[in-house]
């Protein structure tokens, strides 16, 4: 995803954005990139001097591009992205269980404190403080953990929730969603016995993600397949009719819901339709 030395020098010499985009299009023609900016431009990071992979964003705090960036977390002093998203979810879950355990074990002494059954010792303040801190952290972590569980089920990041990624058919907030089960496997892996262990088991490489093309109605799909097989991204750059990741990724290998007709099938169908129409007339 990094530009070659010659392309980088040429990119820096060019002053017109159109010429710079032409260089980026030429460099990205063989890359598995299917999202663009809102203005249909190639996503390029001037700080890291590389073409951004899908779902990659630059973190201003870390000053680096992060694969499948979700957000920068000050609690762990790091960015949450592809390489540590599973660990972040486990961190939230085990912190949630720990706060619940602390609040549950202190509850009986907290009740005795309010009923004046607790002996007059210096532990009163500690019991009160410990229960309220555990309860408040439990509520806050529960809301955050529930939100990220919802994100996993939808296969979205926090950034993509507020700004939908732009595909060849336009912005689509569900462009990377493969269904709840497959979305869960993409983060936690195929082996369920490793899901609750702090072991990296996420599928993929962080640069290439299986996608879903925007579903169009039959009439629009027929017109687009006949007149515009690949919607143009720019003057000389076009998307392939079908992303390679959709056919090669193991998450979609057994998917029976994918239906796509090639040019020959389209011609056969068009010919059959024309023949039937002629017979009816």
Residue that is written with structure tokens 């992303």 in the block: 243
207 is catalytic: no
Does the pLDDT at position 104 exceed 60? yes
Q: What is the pLDDT of residues 87-100, one digit of tens each?
A: 999 999 999 999 99
pLDDT higher at 211 or 223: 211
Give the burial string for 221-236 (b: 16+ CB within 10 Å, else e).
ebeebeeeeeeebeee
The residue among 123, 126, 130 whose CA lies nearest residue 102 is: 130
Tell me whether residue 192 is in a domain: yes
Mean pLDDT, rounded, of the chain: 78
Is residue 208 assigned to a domain? Answer: yes
pTM for the whole structure: 0.72
Token duo for residue 63:
């000053």
Q: SS3 of 98, please?
A: helix
State pLDDT tens for residues 221-247: 333 334 444 333 343 333 333 443 443
Confidence band (pLDDT; 50, 70, 90) for 252?
Answer: very low
Determine what percent of the chain falls in helix, strand and coil, rounding each to the nearest 5.
Answer: 50, 10, 45
In a domain, 50, yes or no: no
Would you state the structure tokens that stand for residue 118, as one six-digit string?
Answer: 């607790």
pLDDT digits (tens, 9 = 90+) for 5-32: 888 888 888 888 888 899 999 888 889 8
pLDDT tens track for 142-158: 999 999 999 999 999 99
Pair of tokens at residue 162 = 């507020």
**Helix locations, 115-238, DSSP H:** 123-154, 158-162, 180-188, 218-227
Residue 115 sits in which domain range? 93-166+174-220
In a domain, 135, yes or no: yes
Residue 185 lies in a domain: yes
Residue 146 forms part of a structural domain: yes
195: Cβ–Cβ under 8 A, 6 or more apart, which residues? Answer: 188, 189, 201
User: CA 65, CA 48: separation in Å to the nearest integer?
Assistant: 7
User: For 130-142, what is each residue's pLDDT tens digit?
Assistant: 999 999 999 999 9
Q: Is residue 162 part of a domain?
A: yes
Tokens linked to 153: 């089920």
Instruction: Classify residue 66: in a domain, yes or no.
Output: no
Report the C-alpha gap between 258 and 151 in whole angstroms: 23
3-state secondary structure of 72: strand
Which residue is catalytic, options 65, 73, 79, 180?
A: 73
Structurally, the chain folds into a number of domains equal to: 1
Helix (H) or strand (E) holding 181: helix 180-188
Cβ(141)–Cβ(92) under 8 Å? yes
């Amino acid at each position: 995803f990094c530009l070659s030395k010659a392309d980088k020098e040429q990119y820096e010499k060019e002053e017109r954005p159109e010429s710079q985009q032409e260089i980026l299009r030429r460099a990205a023609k063989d890359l598995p990139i299917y999202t663009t900016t809102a203005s249909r431009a190639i996503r390029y990071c001037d700080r890291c001097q590389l073409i951004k992979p899908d779902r990659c964003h630059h973190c201003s705090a870390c000053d680096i591009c992060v694969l499948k960036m979700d957000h920068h977390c000050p609690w762990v002093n790091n960015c949450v992205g592809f390489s540590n998203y599973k660990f972040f979810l486990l961190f939230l879950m085990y912190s949630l269980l720990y706060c619940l355990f602390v609040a549950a074990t202190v509850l009986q002494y907290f009740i005795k404190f309010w009923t004046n059954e607790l002996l007059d010792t210096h532990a009163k303040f500690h019991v009160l403080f410990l229960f309220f801190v555990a309860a408040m952290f439990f509520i806050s972590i529960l809301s955050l953990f529930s939100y990220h569980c919802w994100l996993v089920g939808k296969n979205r990041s926090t950034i993509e929730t507020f700004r939908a990624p732009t595909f060849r058919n336009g912005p689509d907030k569900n462009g990377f969603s493969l269904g709840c089960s497959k979305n869960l496997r993409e983060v936690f892996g195929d082996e369920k016995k490793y899901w609750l262990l702090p072991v990296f088991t996420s599928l993929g490489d962080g640069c290439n993600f299986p996608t879903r093309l925007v579903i169009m109605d039959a009439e629009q799909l027929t017109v687009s397949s006949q007149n515009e097989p690949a919607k143009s991204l720019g003057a000389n750059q076009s998307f392939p009719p079908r992303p390679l990741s959709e056919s090669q990724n193991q998450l979609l290998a057994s998917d029976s819901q994918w239906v796509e007709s090639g040019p020959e099938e389209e011609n056969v169908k068009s010919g059959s339709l024309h023949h039937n129409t002629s017979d009816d007339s």
